[in-house]
Each structure stands twice: as C-alpha cells, then as structure tokens.
Chain A
Amino acid sequence: MTVALSGKEIAGQIEEKLPESITESGQDYLVVKPDSLLAVATFLKDTPGLDFNYLNFVTAIDYYDHFEVVYQLTSLEHNHSLVVKTRCYDRENPALPSVVSLWQGADFQEREIYDLMGIRFEGHPNMKRIFLWEGFQGHPLRKDYW
C-alpha cells in the first residue's frame, strides 16, 4: 500500500533545513510559499529517506480569490506519497516557478495549466498554449469565464 505521508511531519523536517517556507500543513497536505517552491521540491527529491523521484500530477484549482496549484509526489522505492500545494493570490498575472528542471513530466501539464487557467510558470522552456489556438481570448477553466 502506498503510504500517504503526514503533512505535519514532513513540514517539521523541511522547516529545519529551509525555515519560513511552509505556510500551513494538514494531515494530508502541505502548503508551501511560492518563492520557496523550488527549494522545497529539490529538498524533497534529493533527501535520502524521502526520495520523491516521481511526479504524479500537477493541477490548478480556481478558488475565487486565489489559485491553488497541487502537486502529488511519489517515491517508487519507499512507496510513499505526499501532496504539496502552493497558493497564488494574483489574479491578473499569476506566476509561479516551474519544476520542469526537477521532474520533466511536468512539462505538458504546466502548459495545460497556463492554457486553461492562465498561470505562467517561470523557467519553463516552452510556455505557450497547448490545447487552444494562439489568439484565443481568455482562459476557459477559470470560474469567471462563463
């Protein structure tokens, strides 16, 4: 069985190495500040014992006043998983750092989030629309599109 690691203990481990990077942590998830996302992700990937080398998915949710981007990470050897979230409070030009340099599997998924939600990912090699055509106005999956 894949063990879903508790957000609170991982938060404790991260706070020792990288202070001031966790906003909140619950039983199932962990919320990270956008600026320290890359540092936390590198820590999660490289620390022996955690070894999160497989990214399950990246997705974004539109809660009317902020966007929340969710990452699920898994470790194939230890068979445990963790959910990491970030929040982005800017509605006009939301931007977040990209994790493509760590896990290449995030490539198309981040483009999809840009296309459908409008969140730009800095550091992505090819940030352009993926499903809709160039010149399409708006971002359909936002709650205020229709």
Chain B
Amino acid sequence: MALKTEPFVLNMGPVHPSTHGVFRMRATLDGEVVVDIEPVFGYLHRGVEKLAEQRTYTGIIPLTDRLDYISSMNNNHAYVLAVEKLAGIKVPERAEYLRVIMAELQRIAAFLIAVGSFLNDCGAFFTPFLYMFRERERIIDLFEMVSGQRLTYNYMRVGGVSQDIPREFLPALRKFLAQMPRFIDEYDRLLMQNEILLARAKGVGILTKEQAINCSASGPVLRASGVKWDIRQADPYSVYDRFDFDIPTGTVGDCYDRYRQRVEEMRQSLRIIKQAMEQLPQGPVKSDVSHLVRPPIGEAYARIEAPKGELGFYLVSDNSIAPYRCHIRPPSLINLTALRDMVRGWKVADVIIIFGSIDITVGEIDR
C-alpha cells in the first residue's frame, strides 16, 4: 500500500537564530528532505542606491561602511577606487600601502566571524565563535587607533586615506603579526579533524565548478569549487601586484572545503600584511583633491576582492557633486543564486550549514 504524502512548506523566518541576520527562506520539504528553497529578501532594504544620488561623493563613504558591516574597510576601498577611476585621480604610494594593510586586516577580521558563525551553525555553540571574537578584538583595537571607530570606520577618502597612522600602530601591528599564526594553528588543531565537523560538513552541499561559474559566484565560494580566480591576482588594483601570495583552491566544493578555504586565506593575508609593512614608504597620505570632487561625464566600474567575493561599484557621473547613478554589485546576493542547487536533497539541518558556509551579510544583499 503506497503512503499518500504531500510536500510541506517550512518558513525559516526573518527572526531566526541561525540566519545571520534578517533573512527568510521558504523551504519545500518532502518529509525531512528539502526539495526546493526560495529565499525572500528585503527586510533590511534601506535604499542606499537612492540615497547615494543625493549625497556628495565624499558623503557616500559612510553609507558604504554600512553595506557589509563586518568588512567596512573593503567597502570603502572599492568605492574610492571607483571614484578615482572615474575622475582620474592619482593616489600617493604611502596611501596605497596603508589601504592594503587595512584591507587585509579587515579580511582577517571578517573571516574570523565567518568561520566562527559557521562553526556555531555546525553545533559548536559559541565557543569557537567567542574565541574568534577575542582575536577580532585585537584587530579592532588596531583600527580604533587609526580611525577612532570600532565597526564602521569611514577611513578612506577619494585620493588617499583620511589620516596618517599614529606612532603606536606599527609596533602593535608587529606584535599582532607575531601572535596571530599561533592562534590560527590552535583553532586548526582543535577543529580540523573534529569528527562532528567532518560528519556534518564533508560532502554536504557540493557546488560543482560549472555551476559556480554559471551562478556568477565569487570569492571563497568560487575558489573552494576549484576555480583559481582571485581579483587581486587576475586584475590587480592598488599595489597588489607587488606582493607575493598564493591562492588556495578547494577540490570538491563542499562546506568543509569552504571552511578550509577561509582559514587558508587568513594565512595568506598575514603574509601580505607582513610584506606591506616592510615596504611601507614615507610620504603624504592623501592627494590634493577637494571634498566636493566633480568627476567629468562618464562611467566607471571598479571591483575588489572583498571577503565575501567580488564587490564592485558602478558609478555614472554627470559632472555634478553627486553621482547620477551608483550601483553596488553585492557578492552575497549573487552567491546566493547557487543556494538552490546546493540544497536539493539535503535535510533541514543541512540547509542551515550550507547557508552558513556561503557566508552572507544581509546589509549587503538588501543594501
């Protein structure tokens, strides 16, 4: 006798402990197995693109901080690169090196949160997460020395950075670089062969290479699926072509690979910071550009390798003090196109892990 069954729609609502913010998913279940999933966005849509048309070019920089709020320096970096490309402004050397140091430090801080919350979703309730927060506090101390803020720094300006680093910054950075590799190794020792993590994350949510390229995934999600594409080496911006670092790639493209990918990239970031610190020249930190910058008529697209993926700003100018159109290419939203393919056939608990391994920030999806 065949049992008559029906698919069931489960709503994992905007207020949920594991959805990394206000994000909603409607999963169609057949028993416990997921058949289809539909993400619903918009619970944090603040209209940043519309606001950007009403503010000056320098006044948009605090808005960009709040896009992907755990990696503010990278957002600032992408935006000022776009304005400089549009207006043809040259940035002094010291400012470029400072930007690279800040961007890589911010990458480590963002990956710490990504890895910590992934482990939180896997079941290690809060212990690795709070350990990672302890390291993040050290990085935030460095940023506070430089910009005065803990989360949304507003540090970079069109033509350079807003102010030079204080005297205590470089010794503190040196101390941080000496201690950090030891902590990453400690987390690895605790977690890499942990059988619960292996059972929950290995082989789960596989994204093949062709699917990843078709879905326009970028960042660690793309590299963990085996595609060696990192904008810092494929299309170098700032002074990234002067540094020597590897690009780790994954093999299978499952959640465990994405987790390992982020840990390995943290190590590469430490290498870049060390080289940048040694090569840091003296000089001015901002070129002589007025705050009310008026680029000529035209358009420009500049992109960087943000911790979430390829973050790009597409600016159209009509020679006034505010942009005509500012479009933000959100890596988190575009990486989510792959969610549907990754999730089919897995159970509800696996959906949380797969979703956590993509690592999104809702502020960037909804802008």
Contact = CB atoms under 8 A, between A and B. Distances in A.
Direct contact of A and B (CB under 8 A): yes
B20 interface: no
B314 A57 contact: yes
B31 interface: no
Contact of A105 (B41, B314, B324, B334): B334
B235 interface: yes
Grouping DSSP codes into helix (H, G, I), strand (E, B) and loop, the A interface class, with mixed when no group exceeds half, is: mixed
Contacts, number: 75
Grouping DSSP codes into helix (H, G, I), strand (E, B) and loop, the B interface class, with mixed when no group exceeds half, is: mixed
A45 B229 CA distance: 19
B287 interface: no
A141 interface: yes
Nearest to A129: B42
B213 A76 contact: yes
A107 B213 contact: no
Contact of B337 (A105, A130, A131, A145): A105
Contacts of A109: 333-334
A21 interface: no
Given A104-B337, A133-B42, A55 B216 contact: yes
Q: Which of A112, A129, A140 has the most CB of B within 10 A?
A: A112
Interface string B36-65: 000001100101011000000000000000
Interface in A78-118: 79, 83, 103-109, 112, 116
A59 interface: yes
A140 B50 contact: yes
A61 B366 contact: no
Contacts of B229: 76
B366 A56 contact: no
Nearest to A130: B41
Contacts of B2: none
Nearest to A28: B299
Contact of B216 (A56, A70, A83, A129): A56
Nearest to B210: A53
Contacts of A108: 41, 333-334, 336-337
A67 B227 CA distance: 35
Contact of A76 (B47, B227, B329, B334): B227
Given A105-B337, A140-B47, A141-B50, A2 B42 contact: no
A54 interface: yes
Contacts of A76: 213, 227, 229
Contact of A132 (B45, B324, B334): B45
Given A107-B337, A109-B334, 16 more contacts: A1-B235, A1-B236, A53-B214, A59-B327, A62-B325, A103-B214, A103-B216, A104-B214, A104-B337, A105-B216, A108-B333, A108-B336, A112-B333, A129-B42, A131-B45, A141-B49
25 contacts: A2-B234, A53-B213, A53-B214, A54-B213, A56-B301, A56-B303, A56-B310, A57-B314, A57-B327, A59-B314, A59-B329, A61-B316, A61-B325, A72-B301, A76-B227, A83-B301, A103-B214, A105-B334, A105-B337, A130-B41, A133-B42, A140-B47, A140-B50, A141-B49, A141-B50
Ranked nearest first, the 4 interchain pairs of A and B with the lowest CB-CB distance are A105-B216, A131-B42, A2-B235, A131-B45
